[in-house]
Structures are given as structure tokens and as C-alpha cells.
Amino acid sequence: MSKKVIIVGGVAGGASAAARLRRLDESADIIMLERGEFVSFANCGLPYYIGGTIQERSKLLVQTPESLKARFRIDVRTFSEAVSIDPERKMIKIESRDRGAYEESYDDLILSPGAKPIRPSIPGIDNPSIHTLRNIADTDRIKELVDREATRSAVVVGGGYIGVEMAENLRERGLDVTLVEAAPHILAPFDSEMVVLAEKELEEHGVRLRLNSPVQAFRVAEGGIGTVVELGNGDSVTADIVILAIGVMPDTGFLQGSGIQMGARGHIIVNEHMETNQPSIYAVGDAVETTDFMHGGQTAVPLAGPANKQGRIAADRICGLDSSYKGTQGTAIIKVFGLTGASTGSNERTLNKLGVPYHAIYVHPISHAGYYPGAKPMSLKLLFNEQGRVLGAQAFGEEGVDKRIDVIATVIRLGGTVYDLTELELSYAPPYSSAKDPVNMAGYVAENVLEGRLDVLTVNELDGIDADAVQLLDVRTVAEYGRGHLDGALNIPVDDLRERLHELDRNKEIYAYCEVGLRGYIASRILSQHGFRVRNLTGGHKSCRIASFTPSLEE
């Protein structure tokens, strides 16, 4: 007897579950419910269609009801919204544009309702000039406005991935763009001293940043044209269009009264098999709470990759396969004009919040061999514990960032350590990498820290140092020192250090630094073997320059 499976929602989780179900069970009766018109679309591509990088709207449509029916024999019902579930009767109530209200039975149910944009109770939030971006219909509305000649300015509220991507794409369309963020920095998965690279890139391309600026109210501008965004510090920004991108919340209101267990923020609680607490009901995608792969707690990460994997696992379980989801580690990447930022695992804020001890190091390598034309700089941060386990990594650069973070993400997933990073045999040719890949280099620095060959301090630790207790030592060349250095630093180039040890104060701890860390490490080894107490500034003076960037507040 064939199974009847109902899937609520398409896009990543629901569509992948439907396709996997059919591949595993040709006889299953599969029904997919979608409240809107489009059942499977590339929601990550929506900002790039608005910005014009993706020219054809049809490219956003991954699957249509017709293609799903033709290839997978799936009964796709668009404009059909699930409004309630009765697990005891195994019935779901549906409101359909074409069929009205009706009930449908199921043997198994997969919930993939996704997440919806947050619209907080701010005065003026219902202004029709304020838009959110979730689906094709939202995209069409925003693009139609952006295409108008009269639309010349935009305010994007929220500095997450969608907010930054929208700011970039609206700026690419020639709009005057201001990005407003309530927190001190944009892109929360990155630590502050790294994300300033993205903030600098945005400003250099004409996006105004207003950080530490919560929105207090929206109001219609004088004359009725445009919207005024009033900020917490008393300032305001006026624009023709406002994009609200302050985050998402699970779209699970229809599950009230179903007995399905949900978390504090409304996410569906599932186990490693994507099963809810109700028999024969599974949940996947942005609406679920899953295990944090790094630390074992509960987390909710709205990313397409995890949603696809979860949909596949739910289908496997329905068909009797012993698949399980091992947790989400939050690997993500973003394009910011000419810059790429990527991260995986935990950042420092998370580790500090959880009370997890860790080490942090920085390297600033180039994307491929320096003697081959076109090499681009990158900045890579690595977090690891005393046993060497890799806890997280972040990187920014123009080229090669994606593959380095993906390699580290793989090492994390396989339970690897910094020692594994040193031993990885990665592909090398001058146009693509260096004989010592940046991943290897990060591993070498981390290994030196763990083996006691190097005591590092981070740029954050420089704040509030006791100038009487330490001596800053700049081991770069005289010319480099002259172009900028830390206040109070003594300049002794590393090649002259052995002959000038007498200039150092043996009663003070030495804080040595160079440009990116390598010469500082050499100096540290020399000094420690001559009886000095010494720490090397990881990432060198470049890390200080990066961290010191402050976005302009000019209008």
C-alpha cells in the first residue's frame, strides 16, 4: 500500500524532500502545499536579480509545479495554505484559493514553512514604502520600484546577510544607499576586528553606514514623497524606498494547538532524524531548531545548505533509511562588492558567552604565489582550544577565501585539529596557491602557540595595556616604521635584533610585532632564547590597521 505524504512549503527543504521521496519510492502519493505562486525558487539570488546581476527572472525558478509533476509526479498545490494540523486524526486543514477550505489526510507530514521577515512594533512600520524581501512577489515589487527613474535613494535597515546584499545591489543600480544597523557592527557571525573589512568595502563603494543606530520610527517625508527613518541618536535619514532586513522568525503560527513542541522563539523542535514530538510529523529548514554541531546546544540557522540536507534526511526516514542530521556549524559566505567574507564554526562572542576557553591567531597571506601576477591579500582568523580542536574560522579577501574556509569547515566537521591543518596536502600551482597554503600557515601558527614556541597577543588585548610594564617592539624596517607604527614602539629591524639586544629593557615584557606576524615570530624566538619575556602580536601591524577602521557618520 502506497504512502501518502504531505509537504508544507517548498523552496529548499520541502522541494529537496519531495524529490528525494520520489527517487526512493515510486509509489508514494506526494502532495506539496505552497501558499504562494512559486514552489521552488532561488531565494539567495533575489537581491542579485534586483541589482541586475541576474538578468532573467526565470533563472530564479528552480522548479515549477509543471516540472515537478512531469519529472517527479508530485501533486503541487499553489495558493494553498496550511492553517491547522490535527496529529491525532492525521489531518491537515487547508485554505485554497481555488478549492476553498478543506481537509487532507496524511500518513506522513513534512513541515517546511520557512521563516518570515521580522516587522517590529515601531511607529510607522506600516508605511507602504517599507518593504521586506522573502519571495518572488516581494522581489517583483521592489524591482519595479527600483526600476523607476524617480527612485534615487534607499535605506536598508539591518546589517545581516540580506541587508548587506541588498545595500550592495541597490548601490550597483546607482541608488544613494544608507545601511542602518542597531548593533556596533554588521554581519554578526564575524568578530568586530574582522568585519570592519566589509564595512570599509561598503563605504569605499558609496554605501553610508549608520552603526549603533536603532530605528525609533518611520514617517512620511514632507510633501508625501519618501520616508524618514528616525534613529535613536536623534538623527534621521530620508529615502525613496526602505528595505527592512533586521532578521527572520519561524513562520509557525499555524501550528498553535497542534501539540508540536516549539522553542522559545517559535522554532519547531526536532531530533537528529528531523522528527517532531508528534508521530509521523517531520520538520526541516529555517523553521526548525537543531543541534549546534560545535557545542551540542540548540540553535536555529536559516541557511539553504542545512535546509536541503534536512529535507533529504526527512525523506530518508519516511522511506526507512537510517539517516541523521549531525548538527549545524553555520558555514556561510558573502560577497561585498569586490570582497568576499566567509566563516565557519564559532566566533569569539559565542565562545565567550558559552565560557569555552580558546586561542585566537591571525594570518594575512596572499591568495596565490606572490611571484605570479594577480595575487590578492586575505586576512584569516583561526580559533582553537588547548587540545588543538578547531573551533571556528573567519576570512576576508578578494580571492581564494571560499576554498580556505571550506577546507577548514571540512576539518571541523571531521573533528580535526590545527595539527591536521599543518598536514593537509592541498593542490598547488603558482596561479592558485602557495607551497604553504594559507590553511597550512594558520595551522603552523596555531601549532607554535600550543607547543609553547610562541606566546601571542591579539589586537584586542592591546587596549588598556600598562605602558610601564611592557615594551612595544616594532621589528619591521625603518621605512615601514616611518609609514606608521604603534605609539611608543621602539624600532629595531629583526635582522639587527641580535646586535641590539642591549637596547631592550629586561625588566619588562616585550610585545613584538611586524607587518603580518612572521618577522614578529622570528623576533620572539630570538628574544625568548636570550632570556626575554616576549609575546608576538598575531597578525602584526596589519591587524591593528584593520581593527582601527571607523565608519564615517557623514550624511
Residues catalogued as catalytic: 44
CA distance 76 to 120: 33
Grid coordinates belonging to 515: 607587518
CA distance 14 to 161: 23
With a CB cutoff of 8 Å and minimum separation 6, the contacts of 192 are 184, 185, 547
Ranges of beta strands (E only) in 267-365 are 268-269, 281-283, 288-291, 298-299, 332-336, 339-345, 359-363
Cα→Cα distances 505→469, 502, 530, 537, Å: 10, 8, 12, 18
Residues counted in the chain: 555
Helix (H, G, I), strand (E, B) or coil at 169: helix
Give 390's strand partners.
384
Burial of 210 (0-12, 13-18, 19+ CB in 10 A): buried
| Backbone phi, psi, residue 419, to 5° | -65, -35
With a CB cutoff of 8 Å and minimum separation 6, the contacts of 79 are 34, 35, 36, 37, 96, 97, 98
8 A C-beta contact, residue 534 and residue 494 = no
Give 77's strand partners.
33
Ranges of beta strands (E only) in 298-428 are 298-299, 332-336, 339-345, 359-363, 378-384, 390-397
CA distance 286 to 120: 19
CA distance 99 to 114: 24
CA distance 266 to 326: 22
